Structure 1
């Protein structure tokens, strides 16, 4: 999405106060969006706060689901009777 803007990465970095190297890492997926980055970018692009963090979270969940670190099916959900008060 950032590639579609009619400004350079350097201009975007200057406007948002985010280092150009970090922006490059964000585009490549090597860096993560932080709440501060989200606030800076959403302010500049006139978007709702949290937009970029939600994108980051969705990507993280997709990656976790595709990973092999654990088998979710081995986790038995809690009995509903234990949840009612």
Structure 2
């Protein structure tokens, strides 16, 4: 599978508030995405337009683990003695 073919960790689906929009969201949920927050709606003068963010749970978990690992590496077990401050 190429990079272009791999599933995105995050998707934002937008479109008119109609059956097609709901079908696109349903298809993404069937692919393993989960809703990320609530939908956003606006009116463009002619129709209601919706937006819904979706994420892949494993991508979020691995990102959270990477952040936790990076933070842990920043923690110095020895107390800073002030040496080297300009």
Name the TM-score, length of structure 2 as normaliser: 0.30
Relative to its length, the structure with more helix (as a share) is 1
Bigger RCO of structures 1 and 2 (CA < 8 A, at least 6 apart): 2
Q: Which structure would you say has the larger Rg? A: 2
Name the TM-score, length of structure 1 as normaliser: 0.30
